[in-house]
């Protein structure tokens, strides 16, 4: 080593442990070359570039970028300076993570790797986002996040164990709560909006209406009777809903799909007149009769007394849900939204049956041949003369 170089290094006072800044002049598989002040250069091996083992130098820096590193060793003979970017960042990184933990402020991190159980990022130290804290819902494929920049919160800092845990879910939940608050302030009963079906339960469907989930009770899914919400909607469906109630304190929104649809009475009621004979489907059977659907959402009642010409004790003895029947319209009451139906003689023309064929079993007079006496004498008998009086 020349005296000039030795003197230059001595004057520069570059010592082990110092933190220096320089410009990257070369990047290859063996590491990074950095031009330092005073005309000499340093080298950063791949192991000292990142807190994540196995990281390629080109994934961390590029030629022309500025890098800050800690001096690990100065070779006074060759003028070679060994540097570590990882160690320069480490001490300040732990301090900063502790501050973020206390303040609750989110941090942006680039996902550098996907490992079993979660995501890995480099924030000067190795940061880990468990799979359960990546999203508000279960994520099957974590590979989609590799290379992405995510916002997360620091939830655990332990320098002694080199442990740093982040949560993206905490950020998403906070953002969701903020959107929900705005939504509760903006929504009013009667509003008609669009939403996405999130999940189904036995009692209804939860619909995301832009930051908060509202419940469409099973009775509000359709104008027709619904046994299970899956008969009407599926997860992921876009639906139009009407807001029924908003309760900010309880965090509840009550919605209705059927209230956002055209009223069946307005659509179909004018199609029917008393005396019309139409086809329908039995939807519900109750003690006092059966409700028959004439059009989607439009039902009429067949009272138990109108189910058959014969006496019926229980409607369920004669009718079952899903059964197709022929009914006659008895009356239409738009104001009360009621249609009365009858199945008695509903298949016959108006005006009764058997016209022009005598009265028969409903009053037809039967004519019988004249009876003969045993003694062979002919002539009218008492039955012939007065039979009609005894009928």
Strands 107-115 and 118-122: antiparallel
Query: Does residue 13 form part of some domain?
Result: yes
> Are 137 and 75 in the same domain?
no
Residue 357 lies in a domain: no
- Domain boundary pick from 85, 120, 147: 85
- Do 49 and 120 lie in a common domain? no
What are phi and psi for residue 13, nearest 5 degrees?
55, 45
CATH number at residue 275: 2.40.50.140
SS (H, E, C) 117-183: CEEEEECCCEEEEEHHHCCCCCCCCHHHHCCCEEEEEEEEEEHHHCEEEEEHHHHHHHHHHHHHHHH
pLDDT for position 281: 93
Q: Are residues 163 and 223 in the same domain?
A: no
> Residue 107: exposed, middle, or buried by beta-carbon count in 10 A (0-12, 13-18, 19+)?
middle
Among candidates 42, 45, 51, 53, which has minimal Cα distance to 18?
A: 42
In a domain, 52, yes or no: yes
On whether both 31 and 8 belong to a single domain, the answer is yes
Alpha helix locations (H) across 202-356?
A: 264-268
**Residue 99 resides in a domain:** no
Of the three residues 235, 260, 285, the one that is the final residue of a domain is 260
d(CA 50, CA 122): 7
Biggest CA-to-CA distance, the chain? 168
The number of folded domains in the chain is 4
User: Which residues are CB-contacts of 284 (< 8 A; sequence separation ≥ 6)?
Assistant: 225, 290, 291, 321
| Residues 304 and 329 reside in one and the same domain | yes
Give the side-chain half-sphere CA count within 13 A for 118.
Answer: 18
The predicted pLDDT at position 361 comes to 33
Report the SS3 class of residue 293: strand
User: Are 12 and 54 part of one and the same domain?
Assistant: yes
246 and 272 inside one domain: no
Domain assignment present for 274: yes
Per the domain annotation, does 91 fall within a domain?
no
23, 69: one domain: yes
Among 160, 151, 158, 113, CA closest to 133: 151
The answer as to whether 374 is a domain residue is no
In the block, residue with structure tokens 């800044």: 21
Closest Cα partner for 307 from 290, 320, 322, 323?
Answer: 290
- Coil, helix or strand at residue 369: coil
What pLDDT score was predicted for residue 288? 94
Print the domain residue range for 230: 187-260
Question: Within a domain: residue 57?
Answer: yes
292 lies in the same domain as 226: no
Domain end position, chosen among 114, 146, 172: 172
pLDDT average per 10 residues of sequence, the chain (391 residues):
53 74 92 84 89 84 90 81 87 90 95 93 92 92 94 95 95 90 90 94 94 92 88 94 91 92 80 92 92 89 93 92 93 89 68 38 35 39 43 41
Calculate the alpha carbon distances from 359 to 214, 282, 337, 347 in Å.
64, 34, 39, 19
């Amino acid at each position: 080593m020349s005296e000039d170089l030795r003197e230059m290094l001595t004057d520069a006072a570059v010592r082990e442990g110092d933190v220096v800044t320089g410009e990257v002049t070369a990047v290859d598989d063996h590491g990074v070359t950095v031009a330092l002040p005073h005309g000499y250069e340093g080298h950063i091996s791949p192991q000292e570039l990142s807190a994540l083992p196995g990281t390629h130098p080109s994934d961390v820096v590029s030629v022309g970028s500025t890098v800050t590193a800690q001096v690990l060793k100065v070779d006074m003979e060759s003028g070679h300076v060994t540097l570590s970017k990882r160690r320069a960042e480490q001490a300040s990184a732990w301090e900063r993570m502790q501050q973020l933990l206390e303040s609750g402020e989110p941090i942006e991190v680039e996902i550098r790797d996907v490992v079993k159980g979660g995501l890995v990022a480099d924030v000067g130290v190795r940061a880990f986002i468990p799979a359960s804290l990546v999203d508000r819902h279960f994520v099957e494929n974590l590979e989609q996040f590799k290379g992405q920049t995510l916002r997360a919160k620091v939830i655990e800092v332990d320098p002694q164990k080199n442990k740093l845990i982040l949560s993206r879910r905490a950020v998403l939940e906070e953002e969701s709560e903020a959107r929900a608050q705005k939504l509760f302030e903006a929504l009013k009963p009667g509003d008609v909006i669009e939403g996405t079906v999130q999940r189904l339960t036995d009692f209804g469907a939860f619909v995301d209406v832009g930051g908060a989930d509202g419940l469409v009770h099973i009775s509000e899914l359709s104008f027709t009777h619904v046994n299970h919400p899956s008969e009407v909607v599926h997860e992921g469906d876009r639906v139009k809903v009407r807001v029924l109630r908003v309760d900010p304190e309880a965090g509840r929104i009550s919605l209705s799909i059927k209230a956002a649809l055209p009223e069946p009475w307005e659509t179909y009621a004018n199609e029917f007149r008393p005396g019309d004979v139409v086809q329908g489907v039995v939807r519900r059977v109750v003690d006092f009769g059966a409700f028959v659907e004439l059009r989607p959402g439009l039902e009429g009642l067949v009272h138990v007394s109108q189910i058959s010409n014969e006496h019926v004790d229980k409607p369920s003895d004669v009718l079952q849900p899903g059964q197709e029947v022929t009914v006659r319209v008895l009356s239409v009451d738009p104001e009360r939204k009621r249609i009365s139906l009858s199945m008695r003689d509903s298949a016959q023309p108006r005006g009764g049956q058997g016209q022009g064929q005598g009265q028969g079993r409903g009053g037809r007079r039967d004519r019988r041949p004249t009876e003969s006496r045993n003694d062979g004498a002919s002539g009218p008998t008492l039955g012939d003369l007065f039979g009609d009086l005894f009928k």
